[in-house]
């Protein structure tokens, strides 16, 4: 076939302005309505995320840092959510097969269920000073990075329950210093020894993880807690400071 016999589609020639030219012009024009709306949406999105500039100070209970550990084992990806109370170093972790705000919310509800500040059983031998039979220390603040798993359902749940959600600045992991150290400890003391379970049987992995966390929170001495365990530290410096022994001398 000769070149002159080839047929090419006719190009449509527009007289005047191309229909898409206005869209392209608006996209590159910072003064256009489209660009201004985009900037406004970005400002509103950033305004809704309260940022923390520095690593928080460990004052009182209820300030939790949460992060996600990602593990690759033989081409399989697993996600381990990890949380730590920055004051008592009380920690909780759980592994999932996927990363999502739904799983992050499921994890946080597990944290709430086991968080010592919400457990009345710690007060068995103690009587409150007031008439209130329970003086729990609820979770008041949650600090995370800007991962998508910490938006959506997770963020909405915190707002609906009046729990402050703070985001660190991107590429500033030092602001999440407590959970970064907790991640390293968890990996060195548990995850590295149980990678086969994490890939083959995630339920068995989580069962073993719970056993490790019980030891970690109730028996393992922590240098930053004067060699006390998180639970011993909490009982010694918080619960007893708010209550007195039932037995009193006459």
Instruction: Round the average pLDDT of the chain to a whole number and report it.
Output: 79
pLDDT tens string 171-207 = 787 888 999 999 999 999 999 999 999 999 999 999 9
The CATH number linked to 201 is: 3.30.420.10
Q: Please report whether residue 1 resides in a domain.
A: no
| pLDDT of 125 | 36
d(CA 168, CA 171): 9
Range of the domain at 227: 62-119+126-243
Q: Please report whether residue 231 resides in a domain.
A: yes
pLDDT at 165 over 50: yes
Question: Taking residues 11-39, what's their average pLDDT?
Answer: 59
Q: Please report whether residue 19 resides in a domain.
A: no
As beta bridge partners, residue 141 has 63, 164
Question: Taking residues 14-30, what's their average pLDDT?
Answer: 58
d(CA 182, CA 135): 28
Contact in structure between 182 and 82 (CB atoms under 8 Å): yes
| pLDDT of 179 | 96
Q: Please report whether residue 133 resides in a domain.
A: yes
| pLDDT of 227 | 92
Count how many domains the chain has: 1
Residue with tokens 């073993």: 208
pLDDT at 249 over 80: no
pLDDT tens string 54-76 = 667 766 789 999 999 999 999 99
pLDDT higher at 134 or 196: 196
Q: Please report whether residue 176 resides in a domain.
A: yes
pLDDT tens string 224-237 = 899 999 999 988 88
Tokens of 12: 């449509």
d(CA 149, CA 105): 9
Q: Please report whether residue 69 resides in a domain.
A: yes
Q: Please report whether residue 179 resides in a domain.
A: yes
Q: Please report whether residue 23 resides in a domain.
A: no
Rounded to the nearest 10 degrees, how much is the dihedral formed by the CA atoms of 171, 175, 181, 183?
-50
Min mean pLDDT across 85-89, 92-96, 173-177 is at 173-177
């Amino acid at each position: 076939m000769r070149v002159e016999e080839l047929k090419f589609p006719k190009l449509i020639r527009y007289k005047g302005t191309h229909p898409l030219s206005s869209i392209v012009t608006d996209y590159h024009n910072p003064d256009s309505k489209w660009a201004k709306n985009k900037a406004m949406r970005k400002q509103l999105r950033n305004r809704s995320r309260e940022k923390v500039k520095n690593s928080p100070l460990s004052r009182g209970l209820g300030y939790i840092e949460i992060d996600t550990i990602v593990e690759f084992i033989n081409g399989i990806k697993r996600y381990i959510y990890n949380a730590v109370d920055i004051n008592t170093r009380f920690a909780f972790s759980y592994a999932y097969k996927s990363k999502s705000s739904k799983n992050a919310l499921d994890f946080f509800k597990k944290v709430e269920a086991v968080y010592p500040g919400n457990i009345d059983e710690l007060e068995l031998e103690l009587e409150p000073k007031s008439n209130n039979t329970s003086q729990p220390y609820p979770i008041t603040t949650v600090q995370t990075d800007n991962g998508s798993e910490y938006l959506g359902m997770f963020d909405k749940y915190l707002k609906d329950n009046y729990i402050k959600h703070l985001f660190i600045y991107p590429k500033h992991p030092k602001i999440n210093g407590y959970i970064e150290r907790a991640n390293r400890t968890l990996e060195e003391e548990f995850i590295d020894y149980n990678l086969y379970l994490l890939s083959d049987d995630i339920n068995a992995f989580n069962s073993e993880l719970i056993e490790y966390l019980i030891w970690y929170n109730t028996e393992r001495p922590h240098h930053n807690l004067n060699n006390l365990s998180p639970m011993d530290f909490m009982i010694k410096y918080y619960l007893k400071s708010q209550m007195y022994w039932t037995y009193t001398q006459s």
